[in-house]
Structure 1
Amino acid sequence: MKVDARSTNATLQAPGTLRAIILHGEDAGLIRERATTAAKAVCPDLQDPFRVAILGREDHDRLEEETTALALTGGRRVVWLREAGDSVLAALQRSLTRSSDTLIIMEAPGLASRSRLRVFAEKDRQCGVIGCYPEEGRALEAAIRQMLSAQEVGIDPDALGWMVERAGPDRAATRSEVEKLALFAGRGGRLGLEDVRACVGDAAGVSLEDAAFAAMAGDRRGADAAAERALTTDGSSPIALTRVLLSHIHRLRRARLAMDGGASRADAMRQLRPPVFFKRTDSFGQAMTIWSASALLHAAEETQALELACKQTGSPDIVLCLRHVARLCAQAQQMRRRH
């Protein structure tokens, strides 16, 4: 059966009578984290060889054998499969017909919605199927707060907003950054904006964002300097720049559409999740005012075309990116003159 987002944490922390949990989706780090949570709910010591069996792709044929094995020291067992796919369906079906309380946990990143394993598990009440996708906005804010709270560490709202804006799509990478921050703050500590900026150290990411914000606001000098710094000094890839640009353009368009619908500029920005970092609100607001929703859609399409061009073998990707940044600046300056 499918496990909805509201029930996910409760299911992982207390699997109850479930015989199998299938974790699928795009966020491999979140899949691994949730698999670990479910396994520890059954056996807190994951190093216990009598109660925990971890099976890689080459060991999938041992699923039935491990499912029916007895825990010599007592307690419920865990059989944890990694890189699971349709090839394990038959073994899972046979295992579920056996008398056993073993919990089967399957990591299945990229499992398609029409896969035979997923279709079967979503219909079987002995199975819990949980999607693991990159978190954003309020969900990501809550996740970071929860991680820090577990270490008895607090964080200021502006510091949290800054971190959410820069968090990547992988939960494992986010947790690594949070653990670094928790170690810096110490138990009972509190993190401010400067603490987070000093610890996370995302210089390349900041340069990319500087380029995106400056370009869309029509600041040619700032955009050129930030883009060149990101691509030639900080080591960012042209693809990374195109994706930061595209993300920024999409956020501008959402805010612009809200403003076209009657919201004030400030209210339109406040509706965005994550919120616009307070030191960038002026630049974001300027871009919202000068770009129309249709112009932003066209800019997004051109940026997507740029990403495809950068992926062509032998393409002068850095030159293409710098030229695109200059073109966006020119368009912003032209539209600003019309206002």
Structure 2
Amino acid sequence: MKVSPRNIGATLQAPGNLRVIMLHGDDVGLIRERATTAAKAICPDLHDPFRVAMLGRADHARLEEEMTALSLTGGRRVIWLREGTDEGLLEALKRGLAQQSDALVIVEAPGLDSRSRLRGFVEKDAQCALIGCYPEEGRALEGAIRQMLAAQDVGIDPDALGWMVERAGPDRAATRSEVEKLALFAGRGGRLGLEDVRACVGDAAGVSMEDAAFAAMAGQRREADAAAQRALTVDGSSPSNLTRALMSHIHRLRRARLAMDAGMSRADAMRQLQPPVFFKRTDSFGQALGLWPADALLRAAQDTQTLELACRQTGSPDIVLCLRHVARLCGLAQQARRRR
């Protein structure tokens, strides 16, 4: 069944007898956040190997087996499947649902086409929930930020909230990261004013990260390398923050690219983005739009999400991984330019 926006929170926090929750859409960060909420509703300890099974692309063949496995320690199991596609999953899911089990299958399926047979099946089956995850804007984004801060017992002034909404990108993970930084700054019971938000969010390091993201997607290798190096070694930005800046930019490019594919002009596609592209960056944004098709942008977003997870691993050479990823994005853009 398809879950309406107003019922999403209740469904995730109390899945009840649902056996499958599929999360699709453009906001990879929101997909991951909602998948985590649903998983914790069943098993608060996501590191429990007896009750939680993580299935990457290479493990999709194990879906039916995991759906029917018993929990050795009691309680419902969670099968968390990432990079869900139509390839082989539909039949395995049907066979698993035909057998007795109380396990909850959570499928992350960013970019799954509306004509997908897998998506159509989940939408019609009463045991399944289909949830769209798209970037929030305007009042919806304001409400989400207020809710995140309220969970930390932190208030925010209207002008500060408005300024932050204008700066927020389309990726939920990046927004949550900024909100967590603000909550830490304010402390429990605190209140954020405009100057507080500007001090925490509008730092110079963000400019270097944006420079790196824009240059990388436009295939400007020298500029991208220099900006990424500056952000990571001079400005003190963390590799995770750089990956989120890349993710935000890639998602905005994909939204504009999809609008162009639907018949909108490049200028109009860029103009309809909220917040609008900064006028000094319109040339770079437009160049990238001409180089990257929508499916390639989705792959770039997924690869960047994988990079962020890798950067969080203890002992990971995160700076090297980030610089290598920026170089790879530049290379893909340059290849696309040569093919034109």
Q: Is the TM-score greater than 0.5? A: yes
SS at match of 2:15: coil
The residue that corresponds to 2:131 in the other structure is 130
Question: Are residues 310 and 57 of structure 1, via their aligned partners in 2, closer, same or farther at CA, if it must alter by over 3 Å?
Answer: closer
User: Residues 314 and 15 (structure 1 numbering): CA distance in 2 closer, same or farther, change over 3 Å?
Assistant: closer
Output aligned runs, 1:1-339, within 5 Å: 1-86=1-86, 87-203=88-204, 308=289
Is the CA contact (8 Å cut-off) linking 1:121 and 1:129 kept in structure 2? yes
Give the Cα separation in 1 of the matches to 2:285 and 2:72: 57
Q: Is the contact made by 1:166 and 1:205 (CA closer than 8 Å) also made in structure 2?
A: no
Distance across 2 between alignment mates of 1:109 and 1:31: 8
TM-score by length of 1: 0.64
Determine which structure has more spread, i.e. the larger CA radius of gyration: 1
Q: Aligned pair in 2 of structure 1 residues 204, 250: CA closer, same or farther (>3 Å)?
A: farther
What secondary structure does 2:147 align onto?
helix
How many angstroms does 1:250 deviate by? 6.9
The verdict on how the C-alpha distance between 1:157 and 1:313 changes in structure 2, with shifts beyond 3 A counting, is same
Q: CA deviation at 1:68?
A: 1.1
Task: State the one-letter code of the partner of 1:58.
Answer: A
Cα pair distance change 1:89/1:29, threshold 3 Å:
same
* Residues in 2 aligned to 1:14 and 1:67: alpha-carbon distance in whole angstroms: 19
SS at match of 1:22: strand
> Deviations 1:150-177 (Å, cap 9, x if unpaired)?
1111111111100000101110011111
Q: What SS is found at the alignment partner of 2:76?
A: coil
State percent identity of aligned pairs. Answer: 72
Write the deviation string for residues 3-57 of structure 1: whole angstroms up to 9, x where unpaired: 1101111100011111100000110000000000000111111111111111111
TM-fit CA distance, 1:304 = 8.3
**Cα distance in 2, alignment partners of residues 118 and 150 from structure 1:** 33
CA distance in 1, matches of 2:137, 2:176: 14
RMSD, matched Cα:
3.8
SS of 2:80's equivalent in the other structure is: strand
Shift of 1:201: 2.5
Letter of the aligned partner of 1:181 in structure 2? L
**Equivalents in 2 of 1:37, 1:309: separation in Å?**
37
Q: Which amino acid aligns with 2:112?
A: L
Structure 2: stretches of 5+ with no match in the other structure = 209-226, 232-244, 257-266, 277-281, 293-332
With normalisation by structure 2, the TM-score equals 0.64
CA distance in 2, matches of 1:19, 1:307: 41
- Return the alpha-carbon distance in structure 1 between the equivalents of residues 162 and 82 of structure 2: 34
CA distance in 1, matches of 2:285, 2:169: 19
How far residue 62 of structure 1 moved from its aligned partner, in angstroms, is 1.1
3-state secondary structure, aligned to 2:54: strand
Residues 55 and 310 of structure 1: is their aligned pair in 2 closer, same or farther, counting only changes over 3 Å?
Answer: closer
